[in-house]
Structure 1
Amino acid sequence: MSVFIKLKSGLLSVPIALFTMSFILNSCKQTQPVRKNPNIIIIYADDLGYGDLSCYGAKAFSTPNIDSLANHGIRFTDAHCSASTCTPSRFALLTGSYAFRNNAAILPGDAPLIINPKKETIASMLKKAGYATGVIGKWHLGLGNGKPDWNNSISPGPLEIGFDYSFLIPATPDRVPTVFVENHHVVNLDKQDPIAINYDKRIGNDHIGLEHPEMLKMQADSQHSGTIVDGISRIGFMKGGHKAYWKDEDFNTVLNEKAKAFISENKKQPFFLYYALPNIHVPRVANAKFAGLSGLGPRGDEILEMDWMVGELMGTLKNLGIEDNTLVIFSSDNGPILDDGYADKAVQLLGNHKPAGMYKGGKYSAYEGGTRVPTITFWPNRIKPAESDALFSQVDFYASLASLVGNKEDIAPGTAPDSEDMLKVMIGKSKTGRKQLVEEAFTMSLRSGDWKYIAPFKGETPSWLKNKAVPTGLQASPQLYNLLDDPTESHNLAEQYPNNLEKLSKSLRDIMKQKENLANK
């Protein structure tokens, strides 16, 4: 028996069995379920300011790959990291808890893990939802239970807080140890040349910057004048592990290859990749193919290198056919800094470039330039191109991603205590952001709508911070600004609006007194 199919040229006789099989196959193809949960990638830049990208107003150079994310996604104008320094922001992002609840501060390179393995993280939450989880790049959240033994298995670390795979710069590029750690072990370690590090006194016979400045690619301040590795003196002292030393110029290729491999190996299942770029943290030593391209010196060159890294990653998603099912979040861990210990001419070659855009301050600062950072969400066919002025924080990633994968109701009491569900904001379904937002620096600040309160600073400014030439906001008296009228925080209104001052001061005190929400007790 046959059926007749009407064509423009006439009727075509087709055996019914063949027609039926074709109909079934086509029906199956059309109704094949699309995977429910998307891949999630957080690309986390380091020390990148609000005005450091061409999609955020930079004129000195172009960042076409990141611009493409912004042009086809949502570009946020009032999104914040939770602190103006790296370790606290990273802690808050992964745990959904403000860093002050755990007394998280900038860590030395031999610090223990500061995230309690018994507590949930974004990685462990997504792992429960069926995700493969990986972290690649700068860590700076500590490793081990005490002083890490770099010559043996190093744990606990990322694998104990929800990640299936890790490839790390253990602390920062300017701190020892200057080696990569993959999962629990130092990469390329020669056991006949064991590693030892010390942050209090010199160890070993390797040259140090204070004694041999002629060996350096760039001069450094006294804080950064410890052991010389790859022609750069670092914070701290190190001996051994010479075959495991990294080359700063190779960060872009080494880290990108690891990231692309993780994506390729997990393309058939939902995956979460926390890709923490070292760019543009000091020491700024871009790969040779980017050196000199920006006209702004090594700092600008590393921004161009970072943009290339993002482009390569996005190209991998396209080539694997998974870009449409991947949510990409791009942001930075704190605001910009120019002179941060090395003589790389970041100040001298700045020209008219404004790393923080119109905003005051930068890294280490309580002003807006410290935490207001470039933030972009990109998800083809799910996120429509837009600009959003919604107020939200990276501490909200936890609850928002839990909502995305259907795990919001499973968040246990005490987990992610400061995280709010901003999923609709992140994917462009709403522009209603937070009502209040904490900003951490060496003092605390509170945003409430257009108002911002900066608490008085009662401590002593660290000596190394006094040399940074950045407005810190560390004042003995309270500060109050209306950012709608005064986005540059130039006019302190504390005396004119005492009621507003007291209201915001009380709100901040109440938030900090919520002991039941401590995430690591």
Structure 2
Amino acid sequence: MKPFLCFSLVWIFFSCFPNATHAQTKKPNIVIIYVDDLGYGDLGVTGAKGVKTPNLDKMASKGLLFTDAHCPASTCTPSRFSLLTGNYAFRNNASILPGDAPALITPKIPTVANMLKRAGYQTGVIGKWHLGLGNGNIDWNGYINMGPKEIGFDYSFLIPATGDRVPTVYTENQRVVNLNPNDPIKVSYQSKVGNRPTGTENPELLKMKADLQHSNTIVNGVSRIGFMSGGETALWKDEDFPFVLTKKAKNYMIANKENPFFLYFAFQDIHVPRVPNPMFEGKSSMGPRGDAIAQMDWCTGELMKTLDSLGIAENTLIIFSSDNGPVLDDGYADKSVEMLGDHKPAGPFKGGKYSAFEGGTRVPTITYWPSKIKPGVSNALFSQVDLFHSLSELVGVKLNDNEAKDSFNALPVLLGERKKGGRKVMLEEAFTLALRSGDWKYIHPVSMATPTWLNDKKVESGLSKNVQLFNLKNDVEEKNNIAAQYPKKVKKMQALLENIKNKGTRIN
């Protein structure tokens, strides 16, 4: 072919398809969908009974479904801290935070959002935060001076803590939404402020009864943890969560469709209080908890439809998972126990939220990227703490020495290029520390007695004064403590744990 003719054909091709090169070289969008309190068995594809999850089942059938993927801890704040920083939560004494806690992650701690900004990404967080805000005394009536913006997020629309904690308002870019300056907000976790009724004083106003911890200020017929006055025009309505948050996520994706973007979308569902929108009431046979699962599935489907409609689904990596295992009775009388039926929220695993057993951290996990990930099932051992390093490999950013110190590159696992193996050693946090090494599971003994409030949750915590060792290959339900039979294995796993804990040794 003559050079001129060859050049002409190339010119014609790119004239007709001007985005051809761009489509091949553009960095993928990244969406992390993080559900709250969703157990391993809470999806149709993982065995749910009494509720259908068609959108997530479809995602799993066209993506990669993990059978041994874990959140870093069995409670939400520590898991969120580890996911965003690539560091174990115990290194920063991260625990479940009150609603007025100062920011847990400060600019001194690098985040995955910071890293992705270096790669040219727009970064956004929408939904439940629960990582603290402000430097101390939070100014709910002005700009909140420490939050997502200061740690790498260009945009934020938040439930500041959780749905069961005050303040019951949204913040957008660190200012309370729809706040009337003549009705300032005041929040206290020590004593009552203002004249709003409380669950203890006016139980007749409640949509559902609550335990003593959740019986403070009533908003929208639900009593919360903590006291709040003011902000009447800014108060949320729990039933609106699926539409308000999903719309914000859609708008974020639409606004950034021409850019590579990172979206961390964190559900309130299926955390308490479970107050599903009337559109989803009765969608399950399990009452509000099951209906909230159906609601969550619908929201996820809406996000996927938006990516398709924008023509960017093929170039978007979705990572779907949960912050900890399931819990039924977590402070509100919503009939989650009575209406459970044959459903097993944690699947075949023991424990759940707050637990050191497998049900505490083994959570449903799906990765979906139509142009890259082939459908299948992965049995690889994976921890969310590795998302930071893995995403840096994906976008070609070299990590600095102070970044993601506990995170390893698991990108081949996430993309399904390696469906076995994964982490050789994995740490789990649950009021104690546990360690996985292949099929072996070690739970470190504790000197304290199991707290009364934890016993009240009726969750098998795994806390014991004795060393615990299990072999999950033969005992997936962790019924038989075989520590006495394998003293050498116990000693080896104790040594591994001490190396990680005391010396900061990075062990994969």
Interval of TM-score (by shorter of Structure 1 and Structure 2): over 0.9
| Alpha-carbon shift at residue 374 of structure 1 (Å) | 0.2
CA contact under 8 A between 2:435 and 2:443: conserved in structure 1?
yes
Deviations 1:69-96 (A, max 9, x none): 1000100000000000000000000000
Deviations 1:156-176 (A, max 9, x none): 100000000000000000000
Alignment of 1:118 onto 2:105: no
Whole-angstrom CA distance in 2 between matches of 1:19 and 1:455: 69
Give the 3-state SS of the residue equivalent to 2:262 in structure 1: strand
The normalised TM-score by structure 1 is 0.94
2:379 pairs with one of 389, 393, 397:
389
CA contact under 8 A between 2:30 and 2:262: conserved in structure 1?
yes
| Alpha-carbon shift at residue 27 of structure 1 (Å) | 4.6
Q: Which amino acid aligns with 2:313?
A: E
Alignment map for 1:56-455 (pairs within 5 Å): 56-407=46-397, 410-431=398-419, 432-455=421-444
Whole-angstrom CA distance in 2 between matches of 1:19 and 1:387: 45
| Alpha-carbon shift at residue 509 of structure 1 (Å) | 1.2
Alignment of 1:490 onto 2:479: yes
Whole-angstrom CA distance in 1 between matches of 2:217 and 2:423: 45
Q: Which amino acid aligns with 1:435?
A: K
The normalised TM-score by structure 2 is 0.96
2:21 pairs with one of 26, 29, 32:
32
Give the 3-state SS of the residue equivalent to 1:324 in structure 2: helix
| Alpha-carbon shift at residue 508 of structure 1 (Å) | 0.6
Give the 3-state SS of the residue equivalent to 1:66 in structure 2: helix
Whole-angstrom CA distance in 2 between matches of 1:516 and 1:427: 27
CA contact under 8 A between 1:437 and 1:448: conserved in structure 2?
yes
CA contact under 8 A between 1:414 and 1:516: conserved in structure 2?
no
Q: Which amino acid aligns with 2:418?
A: S
CA contact under 8 A between 2:283 and 2:291: conserved in structure 1?
yes
Whole-angstrom CA distance in 2 between matches of 1:495 and 1:136: 48
Whole-angstrom CA distance in 2 between matches of 1:386 and 1:489: 27
Q: Which amino acid aligns with 1:430?
A: R
| Alpha-carbon shift at residue 62 of structure 1 (Å) | 1.5
Superposition RMSD in Å: 1.5
Q: Which amino acid aligns with 2:35?
A: A
Whole-angstrom CA distance in 2 between matches of 1:516 and 1:467: 37
Deviations 1:189-233 (A, max 9, x none): 111111111111111111000011110000000000000000000
Whole-angstrom CA distance in 2 between matches of 1:381 and 1:164: 27
Whole-angstrom CA distance in 1 between matches of 2:505 and 2:325: 31
| Alpha-carbon shift at residue 460 of structure 1 (Å) | 3.6
Give the 3-state SS of the residue equivalent to 2:278 in structure 1: coil
**Structure 2 counterpart of 1:14:** none
Whole-angstrom CA distance in 2 between matches of 1:135 and 1:150: 19
Whole-angstrom CA distance in 2 between matches of 1:88 and 1:81: 9
Deviations 1:88-116 (A, max 9, x none): 00000000000000000000000011112
Q: Which amino acid aligns with 1:440?
A: E
Give the 3-state SS of the residue equivalent to 1:501 in structure 2: helix
CA contact under 8 A between 2:26 and 2:260: conserved in structure 1?
no
Whole-angstrom CA distance in 2 between matches of 1:38 and 1:305: 28
Whole-angstrom CA distance in 2 between matches of 1:420 and 1:182: 33
2:457 pairs with one of 468, 491, 496:
468
Q: Which amino acid aligns with 2:479?
A: S
Deviations 1:364-384 (A, max 9, x none): 000000000000000002100
Misfit runs of 4+, over 3 Å = 17-23
The alignment of Structure 1 onto Structure 2 pairs a total of residues equal to: 499
CA contact under 8 A between 2:51 and 2:293: conserved in structure 1?
no
| Alpha-carbon shift at residue 59 of structure 1 (Å) | 2.7
| Alpha-carbon shift at residue 35 of structure 1 (Å) | 3.3
Q: State the structure with more CA Rg.
A: 1
Whole-angstrom CA distance in 1 between matches of 2:155 and 2:105: 17
Give the 3-state SS of the residue equivalent to 1:289 in structure 2: helix
| Alpha-carbon shift at residue 504 of structure 1 (Å) | 0.5
Identity of aligned residues (%): 60
Whole-angstrom CA distance in 2 between matches of 1:272 and 1:403: 15
Cα separation, partners in 2 of 1:217 and 1:501, compared to 1, 3 Å: same
CA contact under 8 A between 2:106 and 2:150: conserved in structure 1?
no
| Alpha-carbon shift at residue 120 of structure 1 (Å) | 1.3
| Alpha-carbon shift at residue 22 of structure 1 (Å) | 6.8
Q: Which stretch of the first structure deviates more once superposed, 365-374 or 286-295?
A: 286-295
